[in-house]
Structure 1
Amino acid sequence: MTALLTIIIVLFVAVAIWQLIKIFDLAQAGSENSLVATDKDNKINGYLMMGFLAFIYIITILSFWYLGDLPLMSNAASEHGPGLDNLMIISMIIIFIVQTVTQFILHYFAFKYRGEKGKKALFYADNNTLEFIWTIIPTIVLAGLIIYGLFTWNDIMNIDEDEDALVVELYAQQFNWKARYGGEDNVLGKANVRLIDLDKANILGVDEDDPNAQDDVIVTELHLPVGRPVLFKMRSQDVLHSAYMPHFRAQMNCVPGMVTQFAFTPTITTEEMRQNPDIIDKVKNINDLRVERRAEIEEAGQELNYEFDYLLICNKICGKSHYNMQMKIIVETQEEYDAWMKEQTTFANSLN
């Protein structure tokens, strides 16, 4: 596929050079009529328009066939994920249909109504019916998509701390993530960047005098119990970051000086997702590529075999190490989560 795209690009560059040469020759001809298109020129350009239309359709089909992830988006791991995927698929189908029809009309009309000697263009001032049709149809379609999107967004965001949601803070800083759990009371203690004290390992600026902060747990690996709503509170220490969890269809900006939030319910554990046929295929492809680059990977001190994990990544270009700002997410059963939490050190104990 890469070779085909390279050939196509080279072909287009050659055509562009050829056209530039023709323009230069015409400019040097000196005849006042040398720049006037003839019937032959118009006919050639008309057929070129149809040829380019065929090229657009062919390259679109090949892109779907070789590069498209079909069926589109099959690995949503949150309760709201399938609804969000449906909204995306509907939007893409509508865009694809509109693009296909409008491109055909554009190129076909350029071919059919190309200039010919003796032919006069029809002056068509206006048509209220046509104006109404191409105004009202996009209005109805866009209104439907917007309303559908608003309902989807409300379903995602209408989770609060009263619904037995696990409360977790995501703390962003160049170039890593920290997660803070509310502990046994599931209430996060107060925090402020002005309270950061590296001597006491208080790297998140948690208020040491707040009773709710004493049982908070700060970790560098995010664990989530499957089937339980999770409410994320997000802060940034330095610049604008974006907490992006692609498999959970979740993304929210982390803004310095304010707290943003996002909620979702995980539905598929990490182990279950690893058994997904699409994930198995992707992992195999990645490991095949890593074998080809064995020397580079071993030199970098990385493990050769890749294993799928959910990830929290930064989706804002926040600096030179932005590409590597990520945190592992493990979705597990409630029993496994409880066992893991018992092994963690509370904020109060970490200060001692």
Structure 2
Amino acid sequence: MTVFLVIIVLALLAVTGWQISKIFHLSNTPDADTSQVANNQDNQNQGKLMLGFAAFIYLLMIYCFWEYSGVLLPEAASEHGSKYDNLMLISILLIMFVQIVTQALLHYFAYKYRGAKGKKALFYADNDKLEFIWTIIPVITLAGLIIYGLFTWTDIMSINEDEDPIVIELYAQQFSWTARYAGEDNTLGKANVRFIEGTNVLGVKEEDSYAQDDKIVRELHLPVNKPVLFKLRSQDVLHSAYFPHFRAQMNVVPGMITQFGFTPTVTTAEMRNEDDIVDKVSHINELRKENGDDEYQFDYFLLCNKICGQAHYNMQMKVIVESQEDYEKWLAEQQTFGESLAQN
């Protein structure tokens, strides 16, 4: 009923506006220009408005960069992050350059060649030189970006098995993450959704000897400066494992295992002391204090970057990057899959 009433009100407002426009039209003096064809004054006004709009969008762009640069992510906390950021910076600079030049030309030409009585447009059927220029320049630019991006992607995604990375499975389900660490053998036991039963919510194969020393946790701990290889599985729908501060993301696809890896380079404690983070946390806590909320403390998080359902916004897992000693101490305290089976 509410929607129906809103539609009726909007329709009445539209009719009212139409009737008001008719009243203004009837109130014109006999010598007023009521033609629907633009005259010289209309063209002058439109040309000046185009210049004014160009100035507006440039001022708005400068304001947005100035006002909202503080919400950007801090420096990357992974080994490959600088390469990712460089690729992003080059892309943005190219886009901004093209946008500034093309918008300036568009609005300036709209003003310079505004309509006037007696002025005729000059028409070119074709211009091979111009067409070659505006085709070859984007081709070369895009080819360079694509090639650079492919080399960067290959470098980021290449996992050096000789470095003996820590193997961790990330298991996604609506709307939570679960991590499974490979034990001392550094090999994850077999798992399949068909094996899900009772407390075995990840579907780990109980008979697999490699699975007995696996450790299933709800909080992700990573040692600093140690490569980590993530194996990704989904129980239900398409998810996406997103580590914004580590510049890493990979889709989690039902029915298959995807993977990616990175090396964290900044501990949680070190990141909390970064100037950018200190300023942001301080600002957030000022807002939270006004609302009567508890103080916020920075932490890394694993997020889902696919809209996977109603509670998608809350699908996250805390990530703690710490020293090797603290990591080993924490891992030693976690129960193995074999121990949990014995208890049940």
TM-score higher than 0.5: yes
Q: Deviation string for 1:259-278 (max 9, x for gaps)?
A: 01111110101111111100
**1:289 and 2:287 aligned:** yes
Distance in structure 1 (CA, Å) of the matches to 2:201 and 2:97: 52
Q: Which residue is 1:331 aligned to?
A: 321
Partner letter of residue 82 of structure 1?
S
Q: How does 1:1-352 map to 2 (within 5 A)?
A: 34-69=35-70, 73-198=73-198, 201-294=199-292, 297=293, 304-352=294-342
Are residues 196 and 28 of structure 1, via their aligned partners in 2, closer, same or farther at CA, if it must alter by over 3 Å?
A: farther
C-alpha displacement at 1:125, in angstroms?
A: 2.1
Aligned CA-pair RMSD: 2.4
TM-score of the superposed pair, with normalisation by structure 1: 0.88
C-alpha displacement at 1:132, in angstroms?
A: 1.0
Partner letter of residue 127 of structure 1?
N
Q: Deviation string for 1:233-256 (max 9, x for gaps)?
A: 000011111110100001111111
> Does the CA-based 8 Å contact 1:161-1:231 persist in structure 2?
no
Q: Which residue is 1:14 aligned to?
A: none
Are residues 84 and 120 of structure 1, via their aligned partners in 2, closer, same or farther at CA, if it must alter by over 3 Å?
A: same
Partner letter of residue 54 of structure 2?
L
Partner letter of residue 227 of structure 1?
N
> Does the CA-based 8 Å contact 2:73-2:245 persist in structure 1?
no
Partner letter of residue 300 of structure 2?
Y
Are residues 335 and 130 of structure 1, via their aligned partners in 2, closer, same or farther at CA, if it must alter by over 3 Å?
A: same
Are residues 44 and 172 of structure 1, via their aligned partners in 2, closer, same or farther at CA, if it must alter by over 3 Å?
A: same
Are residues 114 and 26 of structure 1, via their aligned partners in 2, closer, same or farther at CA, if it must alter by over 3 Å?
A: farther
Q: Deviation string for 1:177-202 (max 9, x for gaps)?
A: 1000001111000000010111xx11
Q: Percent identity?
A: 64
Distance in structure 2 (CA, Å) of the matches to 1:210 and 1:59: 60
Distance in structure 2 (CA, Å) of the matches to 1:124 and 1:323: 54
Are residues 73 and 147 of structure 1, via their aligned partners in 2, closer, same or farther at CA, if it must alter by over 3 Å?
A: farther
Distance in structure 2 (CA, Å) of the matches to 1:19 and 1:98: 41
Partner letter of residue 103 of structure 1?
Q
Q: Deviation string for 1:138-160 (max 9, x for gaps)?
A: 11111111111111101111005
Distance in structure 2 (CA, Å) of the matches to 1:126 and 1:65: 43
Distance in structure 2 (CA, Å) of the matches to 1:228 and 1:88: 25
Partner letter of residue 96 of structure 1?
M
- Secondary structure of 1:179 counterpart: strand
Are residues 80 and 28 of structure 1, via their aligned partners in 2, closer, same or farther at CA, if it must alter by over 3 Å?
A: farther
C-alpha displacement at 1:216, in angstroms?
A: 0.2
C-alpha displacement at 1:118, in angstroms?
A: 1.0
> Does the CA-based 8 Å contact 1:180-1:219 persist in structure 2?
yes
- Secondary structure of 1:67 counterpart: helix
Are residues 22 and 98 of structure 1, via their aligned partners in 2, closer, same or farther at CA, if it must alter by over 3 Å?
A: farther
Distance in structure 1 (CA, Å) of the matches to 2:208 and 2:268: 35
Partner letter of residue 50 of structure 1?
L
C-alpha displacement at 1:162, in angstroms?
A: 4.0
Q: Deviation string for 1:29-86 (max 9, x for gaps)?
A: 899971010000000000000000000001000001111249x654200011011001
Partner letter of residue 177 of structure 1?
W
Which runs of 5 or more structure 1 residues have no equivalent in the other structure? 1-16, 298-303
Distance in structure 2 (CA, Å) of the matches to 1:39 and 1:168: 71
> Does the CA-based 8 Å contact 2:84-2:152 persist in structure 1?
yes
Distance in structure 2 (CA, Å) of the matches to 1:172 and 1:231: 16
Distance in structure 2 (CA, Å) of the matches to 1:95 and 1:24: 47
Are residues 287 and 101 of structure 1, via their aligned partners in 2, closer, same or farther at CA, if it must alter by over 3 Å?
A: same
C-alpha displacement at 1:319, in angstroms?
A: 1.2
Partner letter of residue 58 of structure 1?
L
Which runs of 5 or more structure 2 residues have no equivalent in the other structure? 1-15
> Does the CA-based 8 Å contact 1:73-1:85 persist in structure 2?
no
> Does the CA-based 8 Å contact 1:26-1:34 persist in structure 2?
no
